[in-house]
């Protein structure tokens, strides 16, 4: 089974090339980076007070210098700066400072420091009749890749990526079974090489394609919710209620939550950017530690891009 690694380095800049995965992790591998972040989250949650860089590194059995290097390679900022994004209260701060309506996200995302996912992807949806067949007649290709947030299995039809399941918390067997169960009547073929250019493009990496195609397979209401999510820029968040309002059904908050939870294309359809009105994280199909890592990662990248834009070298 062949695997590839995709590693986005900095917001709005070049992203590292996809390479064949190294099975023994080292401090350059994205799976290793996510493992460090997941352990850090658990330690931060269990600490009675904020941990210093040295204390956090020591608890993880790492030197402060090595810990610093891992963080800088993964997200581009120091662990001291990143730690604030991993706290349980960070979601409330995001909701207060980076909340957006879907309308505002669409109108400002192209010019802001956060990117819109539709810069990198285009999408079309399966017809309701086709969806009702459970994938009968569909040929779905799949492959494993290493991402910024650990191993992912990606699936696609000839029309585009239809599934991306994150395995860091739920495990590879469960991640694979999750997608297979969504289209039980389809035919599945392993072919990561075929998928590679689409995965590269979807993560904003040079692949010779302008955009990666997404193929949304779901019920009509689900697809409406997922299309709304595609307009949420990196570094901003919204609520289930705001999505319900945006799709013209303000009373359907619970149904929106269900549709968000059934999103089959993790990260690329950014359901991790949806929070409860109270500032709570809500749920996340692939594990709350992954959601927290994603939100922290994107907030740090947004801040890093803003700092770079106003640095003396930028001339601003």
Active-site residue set: 271
- Residue 145 near residue 4, CB atoms below 8 Å: yes
Query: Residue 113: left if φ>0, alpha if ψ -120 to 50, beta else—which one?
Result: alpha
Backbone phi, psi, residue 60, to 5°: -95, 0
Q: Burial code of 277-315, b = ≥16 C-beta within 10 A, e = fewer? A: eebebbebbbbebbbbbbbbbbbbbbbbbeebeeeeeee
Q: What are 62's two structure tokens?
A: 């790492």
Nearest CA among 131, 145, 285, 137 for reference residue 215: 131
d(CA 234, CA 94): 12
- Residue 163 near residue 182, CB atoms below 8 Å: yes
Q: What are 46's two structure tokens?
A: 């269990």
């Amino acid at each position: 089974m062949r695997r590839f690694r995709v590693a986005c380095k900095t917001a709005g800049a070049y992203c590292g090339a996809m390479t064949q995965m190294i099975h023994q992790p080292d401090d350059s591998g994205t799976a290793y980076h996510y493992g460090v972040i997941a352990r850090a989250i658990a330690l931060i949650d269990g600490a009675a007070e904020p941990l210093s860089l040295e204390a956090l590194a020591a608890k993880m059995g790492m030197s402060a210098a090595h810990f610093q290097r891992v963080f800088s390679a993964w997200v581009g900022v120091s662990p001291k700066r990143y730690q604030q994004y991993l706290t349980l209260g960070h979601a409330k701060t995001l909701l207060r400072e980076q909340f957006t309506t879907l309308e505002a996200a669409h109108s400002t995302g192209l010019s802001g420091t956060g990117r819109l996912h539709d810069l990198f992807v285009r999408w079309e949806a399966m017809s309701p009749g086709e969806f009702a067949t459970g994938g009968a007649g569909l040929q779905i290709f799949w492959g494993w890749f290493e991402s910024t947030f650990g191993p992912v299995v990606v699936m696609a039809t000839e029309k585009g990526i239809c599934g991306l399941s994150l395995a860091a918390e739920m495990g590879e067997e469960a991640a694979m079974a999750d997608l297979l169960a969504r289209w039980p009547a389809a035919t599945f073929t392993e072919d990561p090489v075929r998928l590679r250019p689409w995965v590269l493009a979807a993560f904003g990496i040079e692949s010779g394609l302008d955009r990666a195609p997404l193929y949304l397979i779901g019920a009509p209401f689900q697809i409406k919710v997922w299309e709304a999510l595609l307009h949420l820029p990196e570094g901003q968040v919204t609520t289930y209620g705001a999505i319900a309002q945006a799709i013209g059904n303000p009373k359907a908050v619970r149904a929106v939550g269900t549709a968000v939870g059934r999103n089959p294309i993790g990260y690329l359809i950014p359901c991790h950017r949806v929070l409860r009105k109270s500032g709570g994280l809500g749920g996340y199909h692939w594990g709350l530690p992954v959601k927290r890592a994603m939100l922290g990662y994107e907030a740090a990248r947004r801040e890093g891009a803003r700092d770079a834009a106003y640095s003396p070298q930028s001339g601003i």
